Amino acid sequence: MDMSVFDLFKIGIGPSSSHTVGPMVAARRFLLDHGPLEDVTGVTAELYGSLALTGVGHGTDTAVILGLMGETPQDVDPGRVDEMLAEAQLSGELTLLGVKTVPFVRARHLVFHKTENLPEHPNGMRFTLHRAGGDTSKVYYSVGGGFIRAEGEGAAPGNKSGENPAGEPAVPYPFDTMADLLAHGARTALTIPQMLRANELARMPAEQLDAGLDRIWQVMRSCIARGLETSGQLPGGLNVKRRAAKLWQQAQGADRANELPHDALNGVSLYAMAVNEENAAGGRVVTAPTNGAAGIIPAVLKYYAEDCKPLDPVRGVREFLLSAAAIGMLCKRNASISGAEIGCQGEVGVACAMAAAGLVAALGGSNAQIENAAEIGIEHHLGMTCDPIGGLVQIPCIERNGMGAVKAITAASLALKGDGTHFVSLDEVIETMRQTGADMGAKYKETSLGGLAVHVVTVNHAAC
């Protein structure tokens, strides 16, 4: 497995890892790979498939422009995005990577091919640099979770030797399946977070690893806090009101007349919704493993750190993230975490599995219990479609995160109450998710051509 925990958990901005983060990275990479830019006279970006169909709602157009300007998802200031875009639109120019200014009119230089797909993935984009001596073009694909690949690069190999073709150092516990990890654990008596930590230490010093994990948790906590304090209306035209802050205030109030016995978990769902409202507003989030499912892991982590009262929360949070990353790696390698490829089962379903596994690991569960929790998390999201209304990461995405966080805790509880023995293996359910996604109609995979995206809009228009 040639992925790192920091490949799964990337700091970026909303509203989508595949439609915002990935295209921003791809646009910048294209220019870096095809410099110098002194003789460039113009640039064109073309979007295909799901990127074209839901790109405006997902901020793909904005992301491409920012990437061409040289911005990165982890460093761009969300508060300045509108100002930068307004300046570019007013001037009719774009300064590529901050060094070469060329004419740029969004309606002409950013093209949406809504009825065409590129061959390797539903999220395809083509960039072209115009020069006096001839044009240079390159195709890229945004394959979920902010990961991109150029045309012809193929999927990540993840070979079992522990060393990938790019020269990554060999890791002590290579794995392509959960069966591999369980076998390593049986042989060495190490836990899954211990093995994942050892693999990461083959790439970086312990201080760097721990600082990176702590930074991820810090950004997640900050995102929850902002979401629980911010009210108002989400952008995009659906006029969706942010609810997490008001519901949180009510939950902290003295009036408990309508309180239900299960409301102890109400806070967990509100944490998740708070994050995804921040994501929908274009705020700073962590892909976990995607932006559309970014609220589940932070919510369950906060539940662990505060409600479970761990003796060593710092260590527990790190083990949570490492274990969750292992599940995300397996799902990405052996199925997908792209809603445009296999539906929301690959986003909310995978995030639920990651959170469940992380919680079991942090609470001291066995490797078999960690695997069991992850399997439960995915199994009960199989077949979930990705059908966002208006192409926006709002309905049903925000509530799905709240529900996914609660289901993750339930999955962890079920696994911890057992001995790890279960009928369906995680590897089998991941393969089932892959096959289910392949069988799913394209209209249910982040195109806004089916499901809620069509039915609700049609009903609402008919009522008007």
Q: What is the spatial distance between Cα 271 and Cα 312, in angstroms, rounded to a whole number? A: 22
375 and 445 housed in the same domain: yes
- Is residue 461 in a domain? no
- Is residue 32 in a domain? yes
Residue 139 in 3-state DSSP? strand
Q: Check: CB of residue 55 under 8 Å from CB of residue 391.
A: yes
Residue 327 in 3-state DSSP? helix
Query: Which residue, 85, 114, 142, sits at the end of a domain?
Result: 142
320 and 450 housed in the same domain: yes
The pLDDT assigned to 22 comes to 95
- The CATH number for 62's domain is 3.30.1330.90
394-443 pLDDT, tens digit each: 999 999 999 999 999 999 999 999 999 999 999 999 999 999 999 999 99
- Is residue 156 in a domain? no
Q: Check: CB of residue 453 under 8 Å from CB of residue 388.
A: yes
75 and 201 housed in the same domain: no
Q: What is the spatial distance between Cα 205 and Cα 213, in angstroms, rounded to a whole number? A: 13
The pLDDT assigned to 265 comes to 83
120 and 187 housed in the same domain: no
- Residue 452's alpha-carbon distances to 53, 387, 395, in angstroms, are 15, 6, 9
Query: What value does the CA radius of gyration of the chain take, rounded to a whole number of Å?
Result: 22
The 10 Å Cβ neighbour count of residue 115 is: 9
Q: How far apart are the first and last CA of the chain?
A: 53
449 and 405 housed in the same domain: yes
Share of the chain above pLDDT 90, in %: 88
Whether residue 298 is preceded by a cis peptide bond, meaning omega within 30 degrees of 0, is no
264-319 pLDDT, tens digit each: 688 999 999 999 999 999 999 999 999 999 999 999 999 999 999 999 999 999 99
Query: Which residue, 142, 165, 198, sits at the end of a domain?
Result: 142
Q: What is the spatial distance between Cα 402 and Cα 266, in angstroms, rounded to a whole number? A: 9
- Is residue 28 in a domain? yes
379-395 pLDDT, tens digit each: 999 999 999 999 999 99
The pLDDT assigned to 251 comes to 85
Token look-up 């899954």 returns: 192
Q: What is the spatial distance between Cα 384 and Cα 369, in angstroms, rounded to a whole number? A: 25
Q: Check: CB of residue 200 under 8 Å from CB of residue 209.
A: yes
Q: Which of 306, 445, 454 is nearest to 390 (CA)?
A: 454
Q: What is the spatial distance between Cα 30 and Cα 47, in angstroms, rounded to a whole number? A: 14
Q: What is the spatial distance between Cα 223 and Cα 278, in angstroms, rounded to a whole number? A: 7
403 and 298 housed in the same domain: yes
> Using CB atoms within 10 A of its CB, is residue 392 exposed (0-12), middle (13-18) or buried (19+)?
buried
Token pair, residue 175, equals 């794995």
The pLDDT assigned to 159 comes to 35
- Is residue 124 in a domain? yes
The parts of the chain modelled with pLDDT lower than 50 are 156-166, 459-464
261 and 336 housed in the same domain: yes
- Is residue 278 in a domain? yes
Token pair, residue 157, equals 């190999």
124 and 187 housed in the same domain: no
The pLDDT assigned to 165 comes to 43
354 and 452 housed in the same domain: yes
Query: Which residue, 86, 118, 142, sits at the end of a domain?
Result: 142
131 and 187 housed in the same domain: no
- Is residue 157 in a domain? no
* Count of structural domains, the chain: 2
196 and 92 housed in the same domain: no
DSSP 33-84: HT---TTEEEEEEEEEHHHHHSHHHHTHHHHHHHHHTT--TTTS-GGGHHHH
Domain interval for residue 419: 178-456
The pLDDT assigned to 242 comes to 97
- Is residue 362 in a domain? yes
> Using CB atoms within 10 A of its CB, is residue 385 exposed (0-12), middle (13-18) or buried (19+)?
buried
137 and 196 housed in the same domain: no
Token pair, residue 117, equals 């797909």
